[in-house]
């Protein structure tokens, strides 16, 4: 990395995507650089932010103190910062297919540990979304490959709540209820993680939330499963998973 950083690089970024990729000179060799428009967008964004607040990047460079951990779906339509109007540095983010929290997933659990123990976030938001492709794939019994093992966690949610789900006639409504139940189950898993349990044992202020986002209207909905102490877990889960009749 040190060597790469020292390469003499002559760069010409295009400002118009229609002109095609930029050509760059690296160590005497011409190289094609793809996606110049994204780098160009970045330059403009950084300039705009700096003009609005000259201290913004220098302050961020000193460290991060986000109050929120966001555990969301990797879906490109659900960008954490944008939909809640937060700037860089204000929310710590973990995303995967269908916002699943598994106790043996060391990626997610490490993010959880770092967020709670080091950053000392005050809120953990598990956010799913209606029409989630991961949840839909899990609800259909098509076998794709490796991802089937990941979707198995959502199939378990479906099996657990099959009685309530089978009472819903409309396919879209049933899928959307499964999206909600998946959020509730994953928020429940967050509550039972060793990291959150230890934080509550130490009386640290920490709340777990379950939200769902509508890609059709851009609106977030609180699933009323907010839990801030271990004694609330069972009651919140029971109320939130109560069958819709
Ligand atoms: Zn999704």
Mean pLDDT, the chain, whole residue set = 90
Whole-number Å distance between alpha carbons of 79 and 60: 20
Q: What is the pLDDT of residues 167-199, one digit of tens each?
A: 999 999 999 999 999 999 999 999 999 999 999
**At 130, is the pLDDT very low, low, confident or very high (cuts 50, 70, 90)?**
very high
77 carries an active-site annotation: yes
Q: How far is the CA of 153 from the centre of ligand 1 (A)?
A: 14
Q: How far is the CA of 7 from the centre of ligand 1 (A)?
A: 40
Average pLDDT over residues 61-67: 97
**pTM of this structure:** 0.88
Q: How far is CA 22 from CA 10, 26, 46, in A?
A: 11, 12, 20
Whole-number Å distance between alpha carbons of 217 and 95: 21
172 carries an active-site annotation: no
The single-letter DSSP state of residue 29 is E
Q: Which of 43, 77, 103, 192 is catalytic?
A: 77
Q: Which of 129, 161, 177, 209 is catalytic?
A: 129
Hey, what are 116's tokens? 């709670």
Q: How far is the CA of 222 from the centre of ligand 1 (A)?
A: 17
123-129 and 207-214 beta bridge pairing: parallel
Give the residue extent of every domain in the chain: 1-63, 64-241
73 carries an active-site annotation: yes
Q: What is the pLDDT of residues 140-177, one digit of tens each?
A: 978 889 999 999 999 999 999 999 999 999 999 999 99
Residue 234: what pLDDT? 82
Q: How far is the CA of 215 from the centre of ligand 1 (A)?
A: 10
Residue 243: what pLDDT? 61
Q: What is the pLDDT of residues 3-57, one digit of tens each?
A: 444 444 444 444 454 545 578 888 888 888 889 899 999 999 999 999 999 999 9
Q: How far is the CA of 73 from the centre of ligand 1 (A)?
A: 5
CB burial class (10 A; 0-12, 13-18, 19+) of residue 90?
Answer: middle
* Pick among 3.40.1050.10, 2.40.50.140, 3.30.565.10, 3.30.70.2860: CATH of 64-241: 3.40.1050.10
Contact 177, 165 (CB under 8 A): yes
Q: How far is the CA of 111 from the centre of ligand 1 (A)?
A: 19
Dihedral (CA of 112, 113, 116, 121) sign: negative
CA angle, corner 224, sides to 217 and 108, nearest 5? 85
Residue 21: what pLDDT? 57
127 carries an active-site annotation: no
Whole-number Å distance between alpha carbons of 185 and 143: 23
Q: Which helix (H) or strand (E) holds 163?
A: helix 162-166
CA-based nearest residue to 181, from 157, 199, 162, 146: 157
């Amino acid at each position: 990395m040190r060597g790469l950083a020292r390469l003499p690089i002559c760069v010409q970024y295009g400002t118009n995507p229609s002109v095609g990729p930029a050509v760059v000179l690296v160590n005497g060799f011409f190289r094609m650089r793809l996606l110049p428009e994204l780098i160009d967008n970045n330059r403009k964004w950084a300039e705009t932010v700096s003009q609005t607040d000259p201290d913004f990047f220098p302050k961020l460079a000193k460290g991060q103190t986000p109050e929120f951990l966001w555990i969301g779906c990797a879906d490109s339509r659900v960008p954490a910062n944008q939909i809640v109007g937060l700037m860089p540095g204000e929310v710590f983010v973990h995303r995967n297919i269908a916002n699943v929290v598994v106790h043996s997933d060391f990626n997610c659990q490490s993010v959880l540990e770092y967020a709670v123990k080091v950053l000392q976030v005050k809120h953990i938001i598990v956010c799913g979304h209606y029409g989630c492709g991961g949840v839909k794939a899990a609800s259909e019994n098509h076998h794709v490959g490796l991802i089937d093992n990941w979707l198995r966690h959502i199939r378990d949610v479906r099996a657990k709540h099959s009685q309530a789900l089978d009472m819903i006639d409309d396919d879209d409504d049933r899928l959307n209820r499964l999206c909600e139940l998946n959020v509730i189950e994953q928020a429940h898993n967050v509550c039972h993680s060793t990291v959150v349990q230890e934080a509550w044992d130490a009386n640290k202020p920490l709340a777990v939330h379950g939200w769902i986002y509508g890609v059709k209207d851009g609106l977030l909905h609180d699933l009323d499963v907010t839990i801030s102490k271990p004694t609330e877990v069972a009651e919140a889960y029971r109320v939130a998973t109560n069958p819709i009749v």
